[in-house]
Amino acid sequence: MRISDVARHAGVSPSTVSYVLSGKRSISPATRRRVLDSIDVLGYQPHAGARALASNRSNVIALVVPLRPGIHVPVAMQFAVSVVTSARDREHDVLLLTQAEGEGGLRRVAGTSMVDGIIVMDVEVDDARIPTLRSLSHPSVLIGVPAETEGLTCVDLDFEAAGRACAAHLAALGHREIALIGQPPSVYERRTGFAERTVAGFRAEAHERGIGSAVVPCDAAPTAVAAAVTGLLGERPGVTGLVVHNEPAVAPLLDAVRGLGREVPADISVVAIAPDDVATETSPPLTSVSLPAEEVGGRAVSLLMDKLDDLGPPEVTLLPPRLVPRASAAARPALP
C-alpha cells in the first residue's frame, strides 16, 4: 500500500495525495475529499522512512531521561509523559535515550537523522553534554538551566524564586529561623541546576529578611531523613520552619518531626517543593510550591518545535512558582 495506490484510487497524482496529507499547498475541496476517502478506504499509512528520506524530517524527537542516584523516578516520569503527550499533539513521536548512552547517543540519533531534535532532562550546572549539543546541527532543549546558556534553549521552574517564595512565606508567618531539607548529597555534588538554585534563593531570601537559615542535604531513606531532622533540630533548637525539597523524604520528615514530639504546624511549619499530588496526600496537606511537570514538559516540546520552525525562542524560560497555602505552615509558636 503506497501513495501511488491512493493516487490511482482517487484519480489524482501522487503529489496531490502528498499535498493533501501535508497541507503544503491548497487543494480543491472536492479533490481533498476524494483523496481522504481513498486513504480511508484503503487504510493507507505513509512509510515513515521514505518520508524521512524525502523530507529530511523524521517527526521523532529524542528524550534523554535521567536515571541516576538521587533522582526521584516518579517525578522524572511525569516530565517524560508530558513530553510524549505534547509531542504526540504535534505529530511527533519520542525516542527514549538513557543517560547511560551519554554523548555518543546524542551524536548517533542526530547523525543518523533518526530524530529532528533532542530534549535533555536533569541538566547540571556544568553539564558534560552541552558541548556535544552545541556541536550538533540538530536543535535541542534543556530541561534545567546550566551556568552558561549562550545559544541554548532552556526551560524550568524558576527554582530560585521557589526557594525564595518558601522562605518568604515562612518569614511572613513570623518564623525567625528556618531550614531547607534538600536533595540527596549526590545531587548537589554533581551540581544539578535546580537543586542549587533552590538553595540559593532560599538563602538569599532568608538573608535579606534577616532571619536565620540552614540547609541540610538529605537522602530519601526514612532513617536518613530522621537523622537529618533530629540532628538539625538538636543543633538549632530555634528552627520553627522547614522547607522540604525532596519528594520521597516528605512523609518520613513528617514522621520524624512528630517522633520528636513536635506538631505540624503547631510547633514546626513545613513547606514543600513537590508535585501537587504528593503535597495533598499527606496529613496535614502541605503548603507547597508545586512542581509543574506537565507545563515544563509541554513547554520544552513547544520550544523545540519553535526551533524546528526556525523561530528563535528565548534562551531561558523560567516558569514562575506558585505557592499554595495548605495546612502545614502556620504562625511561629509563641516562645516558651
Q: Please give the residue ranges that form the binding site for DNA (CB under 7 A).
A: 2-4, 11-19, 21-22, 24-28, 30-32, 44, 46-47, 50-51, 53-55
Report if residue 304 touches a second copy, rule: CB under 8 A: no
Q: How many CB atoms lie within 10 A of CB 208?
A: 12
From the list DNA, a second copy, none, pick the one residue 16 interacts with, judged by a Cβ distance below 5 to 8 Å according to partner type: DNA
Chain residues 166-185 in contact with a second copy, contact rule CB under 8 A: none
Residues between 238 and 257 with contacts to a second copy, criterion CB under 8 A = 251
Residue 109 found at the interface with a second copy (CB under 8 A): yes
46 binds a second copy (CB under 8 A): yes
Residue 2 binding a second copy, by CB under 8 A: no
25 neighbors 2 (Cβ within 8 angstroms): no
290 vs 223: CA distance, rounded Å: 26
Nearest by Cα to 311 from 320, 302, 300 = 302
In order of 111, 263, 281, the CA distances from 330 in angstroms are: 55, 11, 19
- DSSP 8-state code for residue 237: T
Name which of DNA, a second copy, none residue 281 binds, using a CB cut-off of 5 to 8 Å depending on partner kind: a second copy
Which residue lies nearer to DNA by CB, 12 or 199? 12
Per-residue burial over 109-143, b if 16 or more Cβ lie within 10 Å, else e, is: bbeeeebbbbbbbbbbbebebbebbeebebbbbbb
Amino acid code (one letter) for 257: V
Task: Pick one of 58, 192, 198, 290: the residue that binds a second copy (CB under 8 A).
Answer: 58
Which of a second copy, DNA, none does residue 137 bind (CB under 5 to 8 Å by kind)? none
| Residue (78 or 287) nearer to a second copy, CB | 78
- For residue 284, whether the previous peptide bond is cis, meaning omega lies within 30 degrees of 0, is yes
Do 176 and 192 touch, CB atoms closer than 8 A? no
Rule CB under 8 A: say whether 67 interacts with a second copy: yes
Among DNA, a second copy, none, what binds residue 81 when CB lies within 5 to 8 Å by partner kind?
A: a second copy
- Smallest distance from DNA to CB 109, Å: 15
CB of 136 to DNA, least distance (A): 17
Q: Indicate the residue among 22 and 314 with the shorter CB distance to a second copy.
A: 22
- The backbone torsions φ and ψ at residue 115, rounded to the nearest 5 degrees and listed phi first, read -125, 160
223 binds, among DNA, a second copy, none (CB under 5 to 8 A by kind): a second copy
